Amino acid sequence: MKIECLPVGWLRANCYVLWDEESGECAVIDPGGNPEIILGFLKEHGLHCDRILLTHAHDDHSKGVYGVIEGTSAKVCMHRGDVGLTVRRTGLCFQEPADTIFLTEGDEIPVGALTVRVLETPGHTPGGLCFLCEDALFSGDTLFKGSTGRADLGGDFDTELRSLKKLALLEGDYRVFPGHSSPTTLQAERESNPYMLRGMELPDA
């Protein structure tokens, strides 16, 4: 398994390319802009992409979707909860392609010999997702190093805290690849992230 982070878009959000080295099959996670950079990377490394995975539909994570589709014919995979999501204050709304694949908890997405598992983690947006693959957790804007995504752009903070608790309760440790800022580990966030610690104090639903 190989992972490359490509900062893209007006906020330099983290777009990730996840690929199986043996087959060259890959998934692009959160193409928030600069599709030419993403496509150039795929071409340089001889990668084939047939899935675009969205942790959520905010503009800084989805603006490059159509450019990547034009260069790869990949299909978008997202949660139905973000369909028609309009970002408060900006009015921006992502229009999903007609052939979008809608994901739910526990779905598995093959990427060559790799398997990406879907976790529903709403809060930052109604349809927030995280993706697990081997020892990697792609956390979108649900979990940052020492922080979490804001919930006032169409989300709900209490729901986000419960999603952080869900991540904290995963067995073992993971490398965490967030939607913004630098990587971390799940264990480090369990120990010191004030939002995750607050979520862990919540009673079971």
Digit-coded pLDDT (tens) for 10-48:
889 999 999 999 999 999 999 999 999 999 999 999 999
> Tokens 């028609």 belong to which residue?
84
173, pLDDT greater than 70: yes
Pick the residue with more confidence: 31 or 151? 31
Region 160-175 average pLDDT: 98
7-11, 52-56, 103-107, 110-114: range with lowest mean pLDDT: 7-11
Q: Give the confidence band of 87 by pLDDT, cuts at 50, 70, 90.
A: low
Q: Rounded CA gap, 153 and 16, in Å?
A: 23
CA quadruple 26, 66, 30, 15: dihedral sign: positive
CA-closest candidate to residue 105, choices 91, 121, 82, 92 = 121
Tokens coding 39:
């496509």
Question: How far is C-alpha 46 from the chain's CA centre?
Answer: 23
The residues, ordered by sequence, that sit 6+ positions from 117 with a Cβ below 8 Å of its Cβ are 106, 107, 108, 109, 131, 132, 133
Instruction: Assign 3-class secondary structure to 18-32.
Output: EECCCCCEEEEECCC
Domains within the chain, CATH numbers bracketed: 2-200 (3.60.15.10)
CA-closest candidate to residue 198, choices 152, 174, 163 = 163
> Tokens 């649900």 belong to which residue?
142
Q: Rounded CA gap, 7 and 15, in Å?
A: 6
